[in-house]
Chain A
Amino acid sequence: MRLAVEIAKVGVLVFVASILQVTLFSSVQILEGTPDVLLLTLMSIALLRGSIYGATAGFLAGLLVDTANLATLGVTSLLLTIAGYWIGRYGETTGRDRAHAPFVSVAVATIVVQFGALFLHYLLGDPVSARIVLLDALPPKIVLNLVLTLPVYALTRWVLSLGPKPEPVTEVRLLG
Chain B
Amino acid sequence: MVGALVLLSIVLITIYFREPAGGGLHGAQSVGAATLRPFEVGAERVARPFRDGYDWFSGLLHAKSQNASLRSQVAGLSQQVIQNQTAAEQNAELRRLLHYVGSRDFPRGYDYVATAIISRPPVEFQQQIGIAAGSTSGIRVNDPVVNADGLVGLVTQVGRDNAEVTLLTDPTLQVSAEDLNTKASGVVSQGEGRSTLILDRVSKSQTVNPHDLIITQGWKAGPLTSLYPRGIPIGVVTGASVNDVNLYWQVQLSPRVDFGSLQSVLVLVPKNRHR
Residues of A in contact with B (beta carbons under 8 Å apart):
15, 19-20, 22-24, 27-28, 51-52, 55-56, 58-59, 62, 64, 66-68, 70, 72-75, 77-78, 81-82, 85, 120, 124
* CB-defined contacts of A23 to chain B, threshold 8 Å: 40, 43-44, 47
Binding-face segment, B8-16, B106-114, B135-143: B8-16
1-34 of chain B: CB within 8 A of chain A: 1-2, 5-6, 8-14, 16-17, 25, 29-30, 32-33
Is B211 at the interface (CB under 8 A from chain A)? no
Q: How far apart are the CA atoms of A118 and B132 in the complex, in Å? A: 59
Please report the number of residue pairs spanning A and B whose Cβ atoms sit closer than 8 angstroms: 81
Q: Are A73 and B6 within 8 A (Cβ)?
A: no
B interface: dominant SS = helix
A76 vs chain B, min Cβ distance (A)? 9
CB B8 to nearest CB in A, in angstroms, measures: 7
A140 to B154 Cα, complex, angstroms: 70
Additional A-B contacts beyond A68-B36, A77-B5 (8; CB < 8 A): A22-B40, A24-B43, A55-B1, A59-B9, A64-B36, A67-B29, A68-B33, A78-B9
- What residues on B are CB-neighbors of A73 within 8 Å? 12-13, 16, 25, 29
Known pairs A51-B2, A67-B29, A67-B33; A77 contacts B44 (CB<8 A): no
Tell me how far the C-beta of A61 lies from the nearest C-beta in chain B, rounded to whole angstroms: 12
Tell me the complex Cα distance, A82–B7, Å. 11
Flag if A75 contacts B40 (CB, 8 Å). no
Are the CB atoms of B54 and A28 closer together than 8 Å? Answer: yes
Complex Cα distance A74/B36, Å? 17
Decide if B5 touches A74 in the complex (CB within 8 Å).
no
- A-B interface, 3 closest residue pairs, ranked by CB to CB distance from nearest: A74-B12, A78-B9, A74-B13
B13 contacts A24, C-beta separation under 8 Å = no
The answer for the CA separation of A119 and B176 in the assembled complex, in Å, is: 86
Q: Is the CB of B40 within 8 A of A62?
A: no
Q: Which residues of A contact B17 (CB under 8 A)?
A: 72, 124
**B96 interface residue per 8 A CB criterion:** no
Distance in Å from the Cβ of A122 to the closest Cβ of chain B? 13
Q: Which residues of A contact B47 (CB under 8 A)?
A: 20, 23-24
Contact B12 A19 (CB under 8 A): no
Residues in chain A near residue B54, CB distance under 8 A? 28
When distances are taken between beta carbons in the complex, the residues of chain A under 8 Å from B12 are: 73-74, 77
Q: Is B39 an interface residue (CB 8 A)?
A: yes
Q: Is A81's CB under 8 angstroms from B43's CB?
A: no
| Residues in B whose Cβ lies below 8 Å from that of A124 | 13, 17
Query: Whole-angstrom distance between the alpha carbons of A107 and B84 in the complex?
Result: 53
Q: Is B51 an interface residue (CB 8 A)?
A: yes
- A-contact 0/1 string along B38-70, CB 8 Å cutoff: 011001100100110010000000000000000
The 8 Å CB contact of B6, one of A68, A72, A81, is A81
Complex Cα spacing A72 to B39, Å:
21
> What chain B residues lie within 8 Å of A56 (beta carbons)?
1, 5
- 26 pairs, A vs B, C-beta closer than 8 Å: A15-B39, A19-B36, A19-B43, A20-B47, A24-B44, A24-B47, A28-B54, A52-B1, A55-B5, A59-B5, A59-B8, A67-B33, A68-B33, A68-B36, A68-B40, A70-B30, A73-B12, A73-B13, A73-B29, A74-B9, A74-B10, A74-B11, A78-B10, A78-B13, A81-B5, A82-B6
